[in-house]
Amino acid sequence: MPDQLHQPVMPEQVIKFLNPQTGGKYVDLTLGLGGHARRILECSAPDGVLLGVDRDPEAIRRAKKTLEPFRKRLKIIHGRFSELDVHLNNIGWSQVDGMLADLGVSSLQLQDAQRGFSFQNAGPLDMRMDPGLDESLMTRLARMDEVALADVLKRFGEVRRARVIARRILRSIKEDPLMDTVELARIASEGRRKGRIHPATRVFMALRMMVNREQEELRALLDSLPDPLKPGGRVVFISFHSLEDRLVKQRLRDLEGICTCPPGLPKCCCGVRPLMRVITRRPVIPEQAELDRNPRARSARLRMAERLAA
């Protein structure tokens, strides 16, 4: 798919909740092909600025082309969003007015068979968002045992019969060290019914999350809140996985600091101090018109919170 046809997920909702303003400072923590970043820069014209962060060097290369008209108001860093404090310090920013984290895998990664993220076409067992830093899926699998792999499939993919599937995968890799994504999908689907979602989808998702340490990255970002935000600053998360959505939901609730004292006490004694206000009590989901245009958005869930004044 050409970059100009790239469709960012829930763009109107992102702008509504992030509410970019002229002169504001914003961070797109998952720059991808720059779809959301473009909208933020357009809405914060003429002097709003944006920092784009991404682990994928190919995504950065393409985003620079997409966002060329905004180059004077744009900074791009190749790196992990878990190291946001370092990135902000490197460009001389202390706090920002808004942050966006779109946690899904990008269309760029899915459509390039050589990246190994998809089983639509044969490709190597890779799945690295940053090929220069992370270990490939094949490298990881080569030193895993059945118990460890089954744990990954259960924890990240909620895969049924995880031990059986793990055993099949590891046995097949020993027999064929050049096994590709299509063969992996066949093994993961063996004996399972095909429904609306391909039976290998959860297996591939779990393996991708393992290779890229996605949960560790997200936890580190969540733990940094609300420090990177100015008072009144907003953070928007778009997740595509129930585990990620639960992590975001729980952390935002914790930062909201709801009093835990028993009812009837004359004053609060728990010492909980609210740091953020959750705006989305329930996750925001894509409208049907968007799903008709972009079926990949079907599992997207958006949550947003605002930092309270000191």
- For the chain of 310 residues, list the mean pLDDT of each consecutive stretch of 10: 64 97 97 96 97 96 96 97 97 97 86 92 95 92 96 95 96 93 94 76 95 96 97 97 95 86 74 89 95 90 94
Both 205 and 219 in one domain: the answer is no
Phi, psi dihedral angles at 45 (to 5 degrees)? -65, 155
How far is the C-alpha of 32 from the C-alpha of 22, rounded, in Å? 23
pLDDT digits (tens, 9 = 90+) for 160-182: 999 999 999 999 999 998 999 99
Question: What pLDDT does residue 18 have?
Answer: 97
119 located within any domain: no
Q: Write the CB contacts of 46 (distance below 8 Å, at least 6 apart in sequence).
A: 22
How far is the C-alpha of 213 from the C-alpha of 207, rounded, in Å? 10
How far is the C-alpha of 173 from the C-alpha of 295, rounded, in Å? 32
Both 202 and 223 in one domain: the answer is no
Last residue of a domain, one of 211, 229, 254: 211
Question: What pLDDT does residue 227 have?
Answer: 97
Parent domain of 270 = 3-108+215-307
Give the torsion sign (CA, 280, 9, 88, 108).
positive
Domain count across the chain: 2
Both 222 and 177 in one domain: the answer is no
Specify the CATH number for the domain of residue 169. Answer: 1.10.150.170
Last residue of a domain, one of 160, 177, 211: 211
pLDDT digits (tens, 9 = 90+) for 35-83: 999 999 999 999 999 999 999 999 999 999 999 999 999 999 999 999 9
60 located within any domain: yes
The encoded tokens of residue 253 equal: 């609730």
Question: What pLDDT does residue 2 have?
Answer: 39
Question: What pLDDT does residue 89 have?
Answer: 96
92 located within any domain: yes
74 located within any domain: yes
First to last CA, the chain: 46
Q: Which residue in the block uniquely carries the two structure tokens 């970002």? A: 221
Both 7 and 102 in one domain: the answer is yes
Judged by DSSP in three states, 237 sits in strand
User: Taking a C-beta distance cutoff of 8 angstroms, is the pair 222, 251 a contact?
Assistant: yes
Structure pTM? 0.90
Q: Which residue in the block uniquely carries the two structure tokens 């829930």? A: 10
149 located within any domain: yes
Question: What pLDDT does residue 260 have?
Answer: 67
How far is the C-alpha of 144 from the C-alpha of 189, rounded, in Å? 21
Both 36 and 11 in one domain: the answer is yes
Pairing of β 25-28 and β 49-54? parallel
115 located within any domain: no
118 located within any domain: no
Specify the CATH number for the domain of residue 47. Answer: 3.40.50.150
Give the torsion sign (CA, 206, 210, 255, 50).
negative
Question: What pLDDT does residue 272 have?
Answer: 73
Last residue of a domain, one of 211, 226, 259: 211
Question: What pLDDT does residue 74 have?
Answer: 98
